[in-house]
């Protein structure tokens, strides 16, 4: 096992996704750095800063170079990044004439940060795809169960009837906002970093900004108004975005766990042979996916402060601040990816027990409809008196373990205003769903609009 279970062959599927781990592999990181070096050479060749034949040789060598990982590791240990060792290897592969023009005017952090942004672009595509899949699954469940009554709960106790479609919509609603945030985030975060040794690009004379602009265009990245080697807000914003996404997933997973308790048993994760089982308790169907969503959420939230702390860097390039980002951001992306995968599987295959939902609605023998009775009675007696009468009836029903409807009918102060037919209607959960079905419709519509808008902006 590795130090981080998300990188383990055994545990990796629980804490992340293979594609996200592969994206941040050593080879991919080096390939991204080579892509930056190649793009830099191409634009500098076009601008006449380096010879065009050198630019072509560097770009060609960057495509075929397979860096020696041991050499790169030694270089990283000596200088903090493998960029210098990689530039040397690229120069040797490009030939003696082109060697002198590799990495022209750039500094290590320019290449490292811009390469990171290239990886982040792919990572955010993964996140967006999996968020869309989860959102679509929740939207389908919200539509399917828009009218299915169940108990709504506050402070872990039954409060009022809702619908399961309403509950799915509440899980779905923040995902639409997250798609909007992601659109904005990509505009700010996916920006080229090119500032030279101290951010002034002095080594390129008057052409520094031209190179930065051309490099951004070559790589399909935004051009910031200033280099961001000393301003790390972009990465902190991305990390906190991941924290928000995982927080929303944690709400979903937590509710799934609570609804799956033996005493509630209204909802469970999709089951396959051996899934969620216990080594000693054959009857168990543990919510394994939900549990690991919560674990991922806690991990992402614990790592976010590293990115926030990196904002307070010293002078034009910090010692220790930006280096700590590498400890957090790839892990946060991997954990979020794993949580989204788990969430999608749950949302697509969740097992809904409609009969148990109805049984639980009837568990308090009508007490869950006490507000409905009170509001109807208030039209006759005023709210204060209605609350007093219904509260007394609830107390009596609880103490004697009698149905609320029976207690209400026997109270002459209530019965004179509400006959048996009215009481029966008021104590039917399906008659007091309020805006729940329509809210489910609105949230699904909002999700579809957000998804459509995101696709157009991509």
Q: State how far Cα 165 lies from the chain centre.
A: 22
3-state secondary structure (DSSP) of residue 65: coil
- CB of 372 within 8 A of CB of 426? yes
- CB of 336 within 8 A of CB of 126? no
- For tokens 């040397």, the residue is 88
| Measured distance CA(417)–CA(423) in Å, rounded | 10
- CB of 444 within 8 A of CB of 172? yes
Is 278 one of the catalytic residues? yes
DSSP string, 132-175: HHHHHHHHHHHHHTTT-EEEEEETTEEEEEEEHHHHHHHHHHHH
Of 144, 181, 188, 317, the active-site residue reads 317
| Measured distance CA(343)–CA(289) in Å, rounded | 8
- CB of 38 within 8 A of CB of 59? yes
Of 25, 226, 278, 452, the active-site residue reads 278
| Measured distance CA(304)–CA(327) in Å, rounded | 10
Is 187 one of the catalytic residues? no
CA separation (Å) from 43 to 39, 47, 193?
Answer: 6, 6, 15
Token pair for 146: 């828009």
Residues designated as active site? 278, 317
């Amino acid at each position: 096992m590795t130090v981080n279970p998300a990188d383990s062959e055994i545990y990796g599927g629980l804490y992340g996704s293979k594609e996200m781990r592969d994206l941040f592999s050593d080879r991919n990181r080096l390939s991204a750095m080579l892509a930056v070096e190649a793009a830099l050479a191409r634009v500098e060749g076009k601008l006449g800063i380096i010879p065009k034949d050198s630019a072509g040789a560097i770009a060609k060598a960057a495509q075929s170079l397979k860096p020696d990982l041991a050499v790169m590791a030694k270089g990283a240990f000596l200088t903090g990044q493998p960029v210098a060792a990689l530039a040397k290897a690229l120069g040797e592969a490009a030939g003696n004439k082109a060697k002198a023009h590799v990495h022209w005017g750039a500094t290590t952090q320019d290449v490292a940060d811009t390469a990171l942004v290239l990886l982040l672009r792919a990572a955010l595509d993964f996140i967006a795809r999996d968020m869309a899949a989860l959102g679509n699954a929740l939207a389908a469940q919200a539509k399917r169960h828009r009218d299915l009554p169940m108990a709504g709960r506050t402070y872990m106790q039954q409060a009022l009837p809702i619908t399961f479609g309403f509950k799915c919509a509440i899980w779905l609603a923040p995902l639409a906002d997250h798609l909007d945030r992601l659109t904005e985030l990509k505009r700010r975060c996916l920006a080229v970093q090119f500032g030279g040794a101290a951010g002034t690009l002095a080594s390129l004379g008057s052409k520094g900004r031209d190179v930065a602009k051309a490099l951004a265009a070559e790589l399909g990245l935004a051009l910031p108004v200033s280099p961001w080697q000393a301003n790390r807000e972009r990465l902190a914003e991305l990390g906190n975005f991941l924290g928000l996404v995982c927080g929303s997933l944690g709400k979903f997973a937590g509710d799934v766990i609570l609804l799956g308790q033996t005493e509630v048993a209204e909802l469970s994760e999709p089951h396959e042979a051996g899934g969620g089982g216990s080594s000693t308790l054959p009857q168990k169907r543990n919510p394994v996916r939900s549990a690991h969503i919560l674990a991922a959420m806690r991990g992402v939230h614990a790592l976010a402060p590293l990115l926030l702390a990196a904002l307070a860097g010293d002078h034009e390039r910090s010692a220790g601040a930006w280096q700590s980002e590498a400890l957090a951001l790839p892990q946060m992306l991997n954990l979020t990816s794993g949580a989204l995968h788990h969430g999608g599987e749950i949302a697509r295959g969740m097992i809904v027990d409609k009969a148990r939902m109805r049984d639980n609605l009837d568990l308090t023998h009508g007490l869950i409809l006490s507000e409905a009775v009170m509001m109807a009675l208030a039209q006759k007696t005023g709210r204060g008196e209605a609350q007093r009468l219904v509260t007394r009836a609830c107390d009596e029903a609880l103490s004697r373990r009698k149905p609320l409807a029976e207690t209400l009918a026997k109270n002459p102060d209530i019965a004179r205003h509400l006959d048996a037919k009215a009481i029966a209607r008021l104590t039917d959960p399906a008659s007091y769903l309020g805006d729940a079905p329509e809210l489910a419709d609105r949230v699904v519509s909002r999700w579809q609009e957000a998804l459509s808008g995101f696709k157009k902006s991509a």
